[in-house]
Amino acid sequence: SRNLTVSNLVVGTQDGNAPGQSKVLLRINALTLSAGDGLGVIGPSGSGKSTLGRALVGIGKMRGGKIRLDGAELSHWDRDELGMHIGYLPQDVELFDDTVARNIARLQNGASSSDIVQAAKSAGVHDMILSLPNGYDTRIGVGGVVLSGGQRQRIGLARALFGNPFLIVLDEPNASLDSDGEQALLQSVQSARARGAIVVLIAHRPSALATVNLATVIQDGHQVAFGKRDDILRRTVRQVGESA
Tens of pLDDT along 30-82? 999 999 999 999 998 889 999 999 999 988 888 889 999 988 898 888 888 88
The pTM of the full predicted model, rounded to 2 decimals, is 0.91
pLDDT tens digits for 178-226? 888 888 899 999 999 999 999 999 987 777 788 999 999 999 999 999 9
Q: How far is the C-alpha of 114 from the C-alpha of 223, rounded, in Å? A: 40
Which positions ≥6 away from 121 have C-beta within 8 Å? none
Distance of CA 65 to the CA centre of its chain: 21
**Domain 3-243 homologous superfamily, CATH:** P-loop containing nucleotide triphosphate hydrolases (3.40.50.300)
DSSP characters over 194-238:
HTT-EEEEE-SSGGGGGG-SEEEEEETTEEEEEEEHHHHHHHHHH
Domain ranges of the chain: 3-243
